[in-house]
Amino acid sequence: MLSKKTKYGLKALTYLASQSKREPVQISEIARHENISQKFLESILLTLRKTGFLGSKKGKGGGYYLIKEPGEILLTTVIRVLEGPIAMVPCVSLNFYEKCDDCPDENKCAVHKLMLQVRDSVLEVYRNNTLADLISE
């Protein structure tokens, strides 16, 4: 299941991407427009800023804005920041690899074999999509 954090984060990003101008948009506006709990959204936008997707401006007239072009923001990176590993098991994760406790030999493991395929096919989807692709015309 996709966490609400990721879901809300993606929605907020696309909302920002669909703005005609790159000017600060307030949390409250995004929350209202996307039906998201404002306080929860706060924490999400904060991590998106700390991880380099958003810029922010404090104080009156402040808000959040994209600091890259939507076409340059790959979904792989967004998902990894918000949701964590793309792989469904750590033993097939590219960025968060961990060996299984059980499982003496990965190459003979059915789960490993299957989840490798899943990882690759999901990864391809994410790699083929930027934020720009998600904005509906």
Give the footprint of a copy of itself on this chain (CB under 8 A).
1-2, 7, 10-11, 14, 34-36, 75, 85, 88-89, 101-103, 107-111, 113-115, 117-118, 121-122, 124-126, 129, 134-136
* Least Å from the CB of residue 36 to DNA: 7
DSSP state of 71: G
Shortest Å, Cβ 121 to a copy of itself: 4
Nearer to DNA, 7 or 132 (CB): 7
Q: Which does 53 bind (CB under 5 to 8 A by kind): DNA, a copy of itself, none?
A: none
* List of residues contacting DNA (CB under 7 A): 3-5, 8, 24, 26-28, 36-37, 39-40, 42-43, 45-46, 49-50, 56-64
Using CA atoms, how far residue 63 sits from 24, 27, 85, 86, in Å, is: 4, 6, 29, 30
Residue 90 DSSP SS3: helix
Tell me how many degrees the CA angle 22-26-29 measures, rounded to the nearest 5: 110
Amino acid letter for position 72? E
CB of 23 vs DNA, minimal distance in Å: 11
User: 14 is in the binding site of which of DNA, a copy of itself, none (Cβ under 5 to 8 A by kind)?
Assistant: a copy of itself
Report d(CA 108, CA 9) in Å as an integer: 38
Q: Output the 3-class SS for 1-52.
A: CCCHHHHHHHHHHHHHHCCCCCCCECHHHHHHHHCCCHHHHHHHHHHHHHCC
Question: What is the nearest approach in angstroms of a copy of itself to the Cβ of residue 57?
Answer: 24
